[in-house]
Each structure stands twice: as C-alpha cells, then as structure tokens.
Amino acid sequence: MRILQPAPNTAFGISSVPEWPTIEFRTDASGPHRWDWTITWRNFTKTGSAATPDNRWDARSDVTNSGGLLNVRVSAERAIATVAVVIGGTNPSPAEISAYLTLKPTSRGMDRIIQHESKCRQFDKRGEPLRSFDNGYGLCQVTNPAPSIEQVWNWKLSVDLGLVVLAQKRADAVRHLSQGKRTYTESQLNYETVSRWNGGAYHRWDDAQGVWVRRPDVLCDTSTGNIGWDMDKPDNTGKTLEQLRARDRGSYGAGRRGGANWEYFGVCYADHLLG
C-alpha cells in the first residue's frame, strides 16, 4: 500500500483567522482504513486515531488547534504505510487582534501587554509559535500556567489564557490596594495589575500621606522593559541611574544570574507600558 497524497513533508498553513486547512490523505488501497496520528512540536504532543470506510481521510477536524510535525500511520488489508507533513501558523493582523479583544469585557490593558510581549506575533518567521527563553509562548507569552498545545497554536486561545491570567492579577491588585479598607484610583489599579503581570506589587502605603505611592525603593533602567535596581541594597545605594547602567548593562542579555545586582521588576514593566 502506498500513500498517494500528500507527499512527505508537505507544508500546510493555518490562516490568520485562525482556520485550519483541509489536509486530505489518500492511499492506493481499498476498503476500511485506520489512521493513527501524532502531532508534535517541541515538548507538546497530541495523538489520536480515525477510521474511514475507504481510502481517504481529512485530518482537519482532528488536528484543529494544533500544529507542528504530523506523523500518520495508516493500515488497511494488513498493509501499513506512513507519512509526515508539517502544519505552520500565520500571524493575525493587529486589526484582527484588536477586533477579538473588543469582544472581551475584561481585556483592558491586554493590548499593551500583547504589543510589548510579542509585538502582536503568535508565530516566528518559520510559522512556529513564538517562544521566549523562559517558555512563554505566542501573543501573551504566558509562562504560568503552562499553556497547552492548543493555546500555543491557536492565537485566540492564547489570548483567552492571557485574559484569565490578567483577571487573576487584577483581583490580586484589588485585594492589595483595598486592604485595611484603603481607597485607590482607577489609574493605581491599572498600574498595580500590569506590575503583577510581570511580577510583584507596584504600590506601598505611605502612612504619613495616607495614600498609595509607587515603590520608592525601585529605580528602573528606562532603556529596558522591566530591569531595575533595589536601591535599599548596599551595592546600589547612592548610585545614579547612569552609574548603575554602566556597571550592569553588559549582563542584561544573558538573563539574570546569581550575584547580579539588577532585577526584573513589575514596577519597571508597568512604568514602561503605561508611562
């Protein structure tokens, strides 16, 4: 038995909608067929099987929301054949992302996060999901919770996951700012929420003024997105931004390692995104 179509390593593309393409397999055999398939990309794997009364099978419905290398093993009349094809993605346009966000009542601020995190890209130039060094994927670059294969390949599901995380961060921000029945502004809530997306509280309570204030201990490197210094640490105290940047900027690109004097701050992330 031979697989007549598709040819090995044929590339299929997911549209920006996103919509999965027709992926029809056909053999030269007759009678009932069983199609066992596995789709893999990096550490993500999904498997399944399908039965057809003849020699044709369209994998579209089975692999929708997944992508990567699709391996198919077909059996019929005690004969077996295999083939592998590739499914890649197409980035949505900024207009498509914006239109989707308008349908979500809790999406306030997500547009700026998406622009910063991925520059509105779900996929790289090869059509594979955009991946960060710490295993964030797609438009929102969510790392915790770890996304599923569906959330990695379907940009709308990626955004949905990001909105779940953003809602959690907003709830955490409300709890922080309202502790002790303290009051806060809508702007403070936005900064607190965005800060927590990247990690850590933005505000501290100032007893003398009776108001929430930006954390005074954090000095940000304004040339980056979220790098800064804890100015309460002896190695940083008394130094200017220019002195700290000159001392440490050579170590930024490798990611933070033990002994580094700089840190990733949600405070700096919020300042960068919200101004």
pLDDT of residue 182: 97
Domain boundaries, the chain: 3-88, 91-177, 184-275
Q: Who contacts 2 (Cβ-Cβ below 8 Å, separation ≥6)?
A: 27, 28, 81
pLDDT in tens, the chain (275 residues): 999 999 999 999 999 999 999 999 999 999 999 999 999 999 999 999 999 999 999 999 999 999 999 999 999 999 999 999 999 999 999 999 999 999 999 899 999 999 999 999 999 999 999 999 889 999 999 999 999 999 999 999 999 999 999 999 999 999 999 999 999 999 999 999 999 999 899 999 999 999 999 999 999 999 999 999 999 999 999 999 999 999 999 999 767 877 789 999 999 999 999 99
- Residues 112 and 110: their CA atoms lie apart, in Å, by 5
Cβ atoms of 192 and 182 within 8 Å: the answer is no
Contact partners, residue 85, CB within 8 Å, separation at least 6 = 6, 8, 9, 10, 11, 12, 23, 69, 70, 72
Q: Tell me the two tokens of residue 228.
A: 């800064």
CB 221 within 8 A of CB 245: yes
pLDDT computed for residue 254 by the predictor = 66
Domain over 3-88 is classified CATH 2.60.40: yes
CA 132 to chain centre: 9
Query: Looking at residue 257, what is its pLDDT?
Result: 79
CA distances from 94 to 112, 141, 187 (A): 12, 16, 25
Residues 144 and 131: their CA atoms lie apart, in Å, by 14
